Structure 1
């Protein structure tokens, strides 16, 4: 983790310094101060886009060192940065041109829109605004996961339009051979990471392992487990607690992809995912034909015992978030000093409970099923309740997975109890493909 943090810091600092060097020595000089500010904002925007691409490229260094939850936060913050820069960059450039030519701002914007490089940039800005508008919480709740994911594919169009715009309009990158090599070398690295980790590696792995559906097992009225087999699965290097991005060709469209955790520790012979019907893809898993093809991208995530700092462990699950918790409990490395807290509204909602009980009994772990509606008399993750159930909580690594509200309540309680941050591991699954 320390080396990864240092590598990320060096990458950001070196490239930000280079961006300012490009701005200071770029030719031709800006026509006025406003235009110069617009040019600098454009450089910031281009670099922010490069960072955003790296965040979704599934670089092993980032994924294994920081995990999905932290990368999700960075992705959202970078996305908001891209959004504001995408608005401010053209606005300052247009105002700068208008001041230089002493023309009205609307007339200047219309004139620039008639030039195809500027028009491509404006289209990219419109697409960014659309994606961000559909990603805010109020809009996101109205979209299915599949629709939200499809909308985000528009960002690849933004990337193409942005690169064309940079190539034609980016005078700061063409000052000399060194600036050209640096800038397009940066983008070659970024695009190479994206293609290698999101396209080439998954294609090679799926060709090698030939994944197929071995069994489909209903766990409850709205939860189903899918067992997947293939060749040489031990070479995947999957760990308990990790997830894959799953596609089912022939059963769902190619762009319909969902992140599902392994609900059983990988054993080199099969993989198992367990999902709740919350969208079109997950609802259809019950009807998957045995023998149908599976395309899996992964394994991903740092929600594993590799990052454990203590020998004692507390596992906290909420709802269907029990799946990676159940796989962690099966991991032979977890030891025998384990406490499991499983939060559900009612006993009928506790999927995989029988398996948890069997695993807990085999390991000598303590399992607490926490039921009922959360209210004044039922606050299972209040710091006092947590300490009562787990007196030595500060001496344990804590793994929590569940709905956002539950996870945030647990994390708030752990902070108040002063559990060291290096011992806290959370998975929210807020970032998909």
Structure 2
């Protein structure tokens, strides 16, 4: 029963539901999704094993015969199918990078297996669940599972229609650095999307303008009424590796905005923006927005790149810095260094200099970039007295990397939740 509830939660924590990720953050949503997937596997495997208890060690064959009897019962077939789909579903997620399939194929199979597992679980609960015989219980499970499945299907069905009604087109592109592109999308008729600096959108291009083939990219432009979006895209996969081959005028579709990586107005005495690599995109959006609004707060801008080839031309962001009470720090991990550039990586010494003249407990810090850089920045800032609650960051890669202090706190809370669920399940099983 607990596993069935968690499977339904998996359907609504896939990162596509703005009402959820837009409030608690895409990082926390995806972290919860990954942790609950692993716990779901444990619960799904434990469920049939509990029916074998208590073990009769004096008759070892009886346990095996009992297991065979359970497997051969027609009423248990949906449960077996659900278990196999859950194992395959989580396996696909864990070994995604090692599978010789495209992202789109992986994404489609992941979604179909999740829906199949949910339907099989419902059939198992209705036909073999010993706790679902009562009418109220049956209604509860039907509403819960059908509701989760309908939400998952609906979010794509509605967006297919919305995306095909849009008239966004690729109006321009340019290479900003090694494997890093800026693209511009404009529209004359589509309703301009209201968004906040720092958010992201899912973007798809013709001829495949529907959700299965869209990809998430951070918006690099500030909110405007011109009907234009700018995105920074790094060549990192099957789709993005060919982003430079797209022709001007290609029809596009946008699903957004999404995300909660935004800078709340007037909630701090100063702003510290830290970017690395393609993580510059949402930071550029915030920087431009602050400048356009004439924000009077002191701004510290820290931008790190691998080397000179990976560095975006400072002329992209310097006009916005000049309109603010700002100081900037440009870091390169590899020499040679140019005028005004510092030797990376980002460390506590540079953060100390960046925070000079600021009150650490009265600043808002926004970080976006590689996991290692974000971890170093979070650790350095907290050691300098910046409260963890004042530090916000957004990951582009949810597959691991060095954990920050906030990551460890989130994981610790998930472990406590998992322990509580495990204890409750055992107590229920042995009541």
Work out which of the residue numbers 379, 392, 396 in structure 1 matches 2:363: 396
- Give the match for residue 300 of structure 1: 258
- Give the match for residue 244 of structure 1: 201
- Give the match for residue 90 of structure 2: 132
- Determine whether 1:429 maps to 2:406: no
- Determine whether 1:407 maps to 2:374: yes
Structure 2 contact 168–190 (Cα < 8 Å) conserved:
no
Between structures 1 and 2, the one with greater helix share:
1
Structure 1 contact 308–423 (Cα < 8 Å) conserved:
no
1: CA distance between counterparts of 2:235 and 2:119? 35
| Structure 2 runs not aligned, ≥5 long | 336-341, 400-431
Encode CA deviations 1:333-369: one digit per residue, 9 max, x unaligned: 4724211100112122112532112221233432211
2: CA distance between counterparts of 1:405 and 1:334? 33
Structure 2 contact 301–326 (Cα < 8 Å) conserved:
yes
1: CA distance between counterparts of 2:205 and 2:3? 36
Does the C-alpha gap of structure 1 residues 115 and 254 become closer, same or farther in structure 2, counting only changes over 3 Å?
Answer: farther
- Determine whether 1:225 maps to 2:190: no
Encode CA deviations 1:18-55: one digit per residue, 9 max, x unaligned: xxxxxxxxxxxxxxxxxxxxxxxxx1101111222221
Work out which of the residue numbers 363, 387, 408 in structure 2 matches 1:420: 387
- Give the match for residue 361 of structure 1: 322
- Determine whether 1:385 maps to 2:346: no
Work out which of the residue numbers 154, 162, 166 in structure 1 matches 2:121: 162
1: CA distance between counterparts of 2:61 and 2:294? 70
Encode CA deviations 1:263-303: one digit per residue, 9 max, x unaligned: 11232311122211111110121122333332332211001
Encode CA deviations 1:290-329: one digit per residue, 9 max, x unaligned: 3333233221100112377314211100111111111111
> 1:268-417 counterparts in 2 under 5 A?
268=225, 269-306=227-264, 309-331=267-289, 332-333=292-293, 335-336=295-296, 337-351=298-312, 353-373=314-334, 380-391=345-356, 392=358, 393-417=360-384
**Per-residue deviation at 1:418?**
3.1
TM-score, normalisation: structure 2 = 0.78
2: CA distance between counterparts of 1:354 and 1:220? 13
2:249 match: secondary structure: coil
- Give the match for residue 143 of structure 2: 185
1:241 match: secondary structure: coil
Structure 1 contact 208–231 (Cα < 8 Å) conserved:
no
The RMSD of aligned alpha carbons is 3.2
- Give the match for residue 418 of structure 2: none
**Per-residue deviation at 1:117?**
4.4
Moved more, 347-356 or 226-235: 226-235
Encode CA deviations 1:376-402: one digit per residue, 9 max, x unaligned: x96654334312222224421000001
2: CA distance between counterparts of 1:182 and 1:308? 45
1:304 match: secondary structure: coil
2:25 match: secondary structure: helix
**Per-residue deviation at 1:95?**
5.2
Structure 2 contact 14–30 (Cα < 8 Å) conserved:
no
Structure 1 contact 112–119 (Cα < 8 Å) conserved:
no
State the 4+ residue runs in structure 1 displaced beyond 6 angstroms.
Answer: 96-99
1: CA distance between counterparts of 2:87 and 2:347? 39
**Per-residue deviation at 1:183?**
3.1
Does the C-alpha gap of structure 1 residues 303 and 113 become closer, same or farther in structure 2, counting only changes over 3 Å?
Answer: same
TM-score, normalisation: structure 1 = 0.78
Structure 1 contact 146–280 (Cα < 8 Å) conserved:
no
- Determine whether 1:265 maps to 2:265: no
Does the C-alpha gap of structure 1 residues 318 and 57 become closer, same or farther in structure 2, counting only changes over 3 Å?
Answer: closer
2: CA distance between counterparts of 1:307 and 1:115? 61
Encode CA deviations 1:171-210: one digit per residue, 9 max, x unaligned: 423313x33333333334433443444432x235324433
| Structure 1 runs not aligned, ≥5 long | 1-42
1:209 match: secondary structure: coil
- Determine whether 1:212 maps to 2:169: yes
- Give the match for residue 172 of structure 1: 131
Does the C-alpha gap of structure 1 residues 92 and 223 become closer, same or farther in structure 2, counting only changes over 3 Å?
Answer: same
- Give the match for residue 74 of structure 1: 32
- Give the match for residue 10 of structure 1: none
